[in-house]
Amino acid sequence: MKLKSLIFLAIYISLLSCSGENQPPNIIFIMSDDHSTGAISAYGNSLLETPNIDNLAEQGMRFNNCFNVVSLCGPSRAAILSGRYSVHNGYMRNGNSFDRNQLTFPKLLQQAGYQTAVIGKWHLVTQPAGFDYYNVIPFQGDFFDCRMKETGQEWQDRDKGGIVQPGYLTEVITDKAIDWLKKRDKEKPFCLLVHHKAPHEPYHYPEQYKELLEGKIIAEPDNFNDTFEGKNPILANNKCEYSKFDYIGMPFLKDILPQDMEKGTIEYKKGSFQIVMKGYHRLVAALDDNIGRLMNFVDNSDLKKNTIIVYTSDNGWFLGDHGMFNKMWMYEESLKVPLIIRYPEKVKPATVSDDFVSVLDFATTFLDYAGIEKPEQFQGQSIKPLLSGETPKDWRSAHFYHYFGQFEVPSHYGIRTKDYKLIYFFETENEPKWELYDLQKDPKELVNLIDDTGYSEIVKKMRSILIEKRTKLESINL
């Protein structure tokens, strides 16, 4: 081939590469805190509209069965970053310190030439690693005038350090995310993690949300008066102030809870439910508005076509289900998290997937789209085929969960399949406790079938799956 032709070919390849067709996608990963699928209208919530989250679902794919591996803020976030179960990443309870030297998906993206940033809630104690830029809140932070720790400042672990950022935190995080997008190196692909505190309590919000749901009597869920008969005796016999509306004892909520009612009464349970639900949904409304602001910026720039947008939450949340708030327990409302992904021209709009997805899949999926080989220690699967409308034949049919006792909730682990859920509480009163639920006949998980002779073969099979999954996911040397 003549030199002139070679030069022309080189220029053509260069132009093709620069055209964006072969560029790896940008990634914007939006994660809220404690956002239940039951508080998103795209998932069927009729109490409050979430038009901006719904809009993402209309333009992308909504997953009905995305599960966390441990329903607690810090451990869940550690699992998402590391792509590994808690026993392997070392962060099992809130207050632990995340080993910043371990491999994470932001580190691998950064090494591959991505700009990486995290803005908002961190909750992992140690300094973020693998990020070109960070601006994170200490532990839970405050909704108004919150301190934030930014790249370039002297880092201090835990609740120390940071500079006060005036304003409402959900808006501040959104402002900083947009500002970072404006200032980024536009010659490089990027991965931006936007981590909101909302709708985690306390229920502090701007004045414009104060009247939302005011005067409305919110309907209690069908299983609001669960007696816990046949369940873990800790729920039936203890106050469980971090779980039950009867005795709700969250420190951040004590000033707004009923002061003229006696704890443990049905009046107190109903009264605290109304207060918490209204405060929670006001935070959801503010969150949705700010997701809209971020999406408007993306859609009005040159980013939309080649940017993957992910919306999820670190945990689920009980909205009065079983008479509870908070999360941690392996019941559906706590186990399940929202997952909505938009990627124009790659993901068909308004599609829905019922396949089982784990939060561990996020790391592997991002690497897959970036053309990076999955490290051996990452335990998730890439959901890229699911986003293309194809379910691999060997896709998981069971999900393993493991919670390490904290906040008056005993240690337990279990397995969830399409039709059944088996939970093993190994730190309970008197002796360990098993629970089995038929999710097709009893989706509200009211009747424990562990001692029902009609389900003996199901129990045997589920225990076998549980042993297999736990051995594979926690006992092997990774």
Per-residue pLDDT of the chain (478 residues; tens, 9 = 90+): 444 444 333 433 343 344 445 789 999 999 999 999 999 999 999 899 999 999 999 999 999 999 999 999 999 999 999 999 999 999 999 989 999 999 999 999 999 999 999 999 999 999 999 999 999 999 889 999 999 999 999 999 988 999 999 999 999 999 999 999 999 999 999 999 999 999 999 999 999 999 999 999 999 999 999 999 999 889 999 999 999 999 998 888 888 898 889 999 999 999 999 999 999 999 999 999 999 999 999 999 999 999 999 999 999 999 999 999 999 999 999 999 999 999 998 999 999 999 999 999 999 999 999 999 999 999 999 999 999 999 999 999 999 999 999 999 999 999 999 999 999 998 766 688 999 999 999 999 999 999 999 999 999 999 999 999 999 999 854 3
Residue found by looking up tokens 């327990």 in the block = 329
The residues, ordered by sequence, that sit 6+ positions from 454 with a Cβ below 8 Å of its Cβ are none
Is residue 94 within 8 Å of 333, Cβ to Cβ? Answer: no
In a domain, 256, yes or no: no
In a domain, 225, yes or no: no
Number of residues that this document lists for the chain = 478
- Beta-bridged to residue 424, according to DSSP, are 413, 434
Question: CA 108 to CA 296: how far, in whole Å?
Answer: 29
In a domain, 375, yes or no: yes
Other beta carbons within 10 angstroms of residue 219's beta carbon come to: 11
| Residue 25: both structure tokens together | 């996608």
Is residue 340 within 8 Å of 310, Cβ to Cβ? Answer: yes
In a domain, 162, yes or no: yes
- Beta-bridged to residue 423, according to DSSP, are 414, 435
| Residue 116: both structure tokens together | 């990486």
- Phi, psi dihedral angles at 393 (to 5 degrees): -60, -30
Tell me the HSE value of 83 on the side-chain side, using a 13 A CA sphere. Answer: 24
The residues, ordered by sequence, that sit 6+ positions from 241 with a Cβ below 8 Å of its Cβ are 247, 248, 249, 250, 408
Q: Give the torsion through C-alpha atoms of 448, 454, 459, 460, to 10 deg.
A: 160
Question: CA 461 to CA 421: how far, in whole Å?
Answer: 11
Element (H, E) at 233: helix 233-237
Other beta carbons within 10 angstroms of residue 111's beta carbon come to: 11
- Please give the pLDDT value at position 159: 87
Is residue 136 within 8 Å of 148, Cβ to Cβ? Answer: yes
Nearest to 195 by CA among 394, 398, 368, 34: 34
In a domain, 420, yes or no: no
- Please give the pLDDT value at position 125: 95
> What is the three-class DSSP state of 298?
helix
Is residue 109 within 8 Å of 367, Cβ to Cβ? Answer: yes
- Please give the pLDDT value at position 22: 72
Can you give the residue range of the structural domain that contains 317?
A: 22-210+271-395
Surface-to-core class of residue 7, CB atoms within 10 Å of its CB (0-12 exposed, 13-18 middle, 19+ buried): exposed
Is residue 409 within 8 Å of 328, Cβ to Cβ? Answer: yes
Overall number of domains in the chain: 1
Tell me the HSE value of 365 on the side-chain side, using a 13 A CA sphere. Answer: 22
In a domain, 439, yes or no: no
Q: What is the pTM of this model?
A: 0.94
Q: Which CATH number fits the domain that encloses residue 203? A: 3.40.720.10
| Residue 183: both structure tokens together | 């200032």
State the maximum Cα–Cα separation within the chain, in Å, rounded to a whole number: 91
Question: CA 235 to CA 243: how far, in whole Å?
Answer: 9
Surface-to-core class of residue 257, CB atoms within 10 Å of its CB (0-12 exposed, 13-18 middle, 19+ buried): middle
Residue found by looking up tokens 């736990």 in the block = 470
In a domain, 91, yes or no: yes
Question: CA 306 to CA 26: how far, in whole Å?
Answer: 6
- Please give the pLDDT value at position 12: 35
Other beta carbons within 10 angstroms of residue 282's beta carbon come to: 24
- At position 252, the amino acid (one-letter code) is F
In a domain, 313, yes or no: yes
- At position 238, the amino acid (one-letter code) is N
Question: CA 289 to CA 476: how far, in whole Å?
Answer: 44
- Please give the pLDDT value at position 254: 81
Surface-to-core class of residue 58, CB atoms within 10 Å of its CB (0-12 exposed, 13-18 middle, 19+ buried): middle
C-alpha separations of 73 from 35, 41, 122, 197, 218 in Å: 11, 23, 9, 10, 27
> What is the three-class DSSP state of 422?
strand
- Please give the pLDDT value at position 19: 42
DSSP code at position 474 = I
Is residue 173 within 8 Å of 194, Cβ to Cβ? Answer: yes
